[in-house]
Amino acid sequence: MAARDEILAKLRAAAAPAVELPDLSRFAPVTYPDLRERFAKSVIEVGGRCVFVAGSLQDELAKIPEFANARRSVSLVPGVEGNVDLTAVSDPHELNDIDFCVVPAEFGVAENGACWITDHGRANRAVCFLTQHLAIVVRDLVHNLHQAYERIQMPGRGFAMFLSGPSKTADIEQALVIGAHGARSCTVLVTS
């Protein structure tokens, strides 16, 4: 018998008694009186920076030293200028020297500062991980992950992620180090 059928047959024979899937619609998770305030707090807690954008995005970005000093930058946000055109890059390895990347998020989650970022099938999602510094532009916020998944339309095919702050590790004696493999800083720009 093929491995697949043998494993499935064994699992069927193991026959754990039927258990109902709990009804999550009756579950009332925590919500916050001030969504924006809670989101900003969470972003800071996970090691990020949070900026509420009143004027132009480009002006806010210019205030970030890592953006201002970036030699090579990528922007996936309309209206924000980068100097590397991602569509012209055929091999993601060429993106290793990107200093700054600006990406749009579909929404942010107040309870944990995470932003839902999809790649819309773009070939070069590697830029989000290779870049030295990252900025995320987001407008909509939800309270918690339950609301988040209610909202998400999972792509039939493709990549998507919750990203919460900069890359980090505490693998050496529990000491928190920001900038493990991925972005060394993460600024979340909340537009209205």
- Of residues 140 through 169, those in contact with another protein by CB under 8 A are 144-146, 148-150, 152, 154-169
Minimal distance in Å, beta carbon 58 to another protein?
A: 27
* Residue in 159, 178, 182 with CA at minimum distance from that of residue 96: 182
SS3 147: helix
Name the CA dihedral angle for 176, 126, 130, 86, rounded to a multiple of 10 degrees.
Answer: -140
Q: Which residues are bridge partners to 18 per DSSP?
A: none
The footprint of another protein on residues 84-123 (CB under 8 A) is 92-93, 96, 109, 111-114, 121-123
- With CB under 8 A as the contact rule, the residue among 56, 65, 140, 180 that binds another protein is 180
Q: How far is the CB of 135 from another protein (least distance, A)?
A: 15
User: Could you tell me how many residues of this chain bind another protein (CB under 8 A)?
Assistant: 78
Stretch that binds another protein, among 7-15, 60-68, 70-78, 81-89 (CB under 8 A): 7-15
Nearest residue (CB) to another protein, 18 versus 54: 18
Is residue 107 within 8 A of residue 115, CB to CB? The reply is: yes
Q: Which is nearer to another protein, 14 or 54 (CB)?
A: 14
CB of 66 to another protein, least distance (A): 16
Beta pairing partners, 97: none
3-state secondary structure 2-47: CHHHHHHHHHHHHCCCCCCCCCHHHCCCCCCCCHHHHHHHHHHHCC
Return the number of the residue (44 or 58) whose C-beta is nearest another protein: 44
| Candidate segments 56-64, 71-79, 80-88, 180-188, binder of another protein by CB under 8 A | 180-188
Q: What is the largest CA-CA distance in the chain?
A: 65
State which residue, 17 or 55, has the beta carbon closest to another protein. 17
The verdict on 65 binding another protein (CB under 8 A) reads no
Q: What are phi and psi of 60, to 5 degrees?
A: -65, -45
- Distance separating alpha carbons of residues 99 and 103, to the nearest angstrom: 13
Q: What minimum distance in Å lies between the beta carbon of 184 and another protein?
A: 9
Min dist. Cβ of residue 162 to another protein (A): 4
Cα distance between residue 138 and residue 53, in whole Å: 10
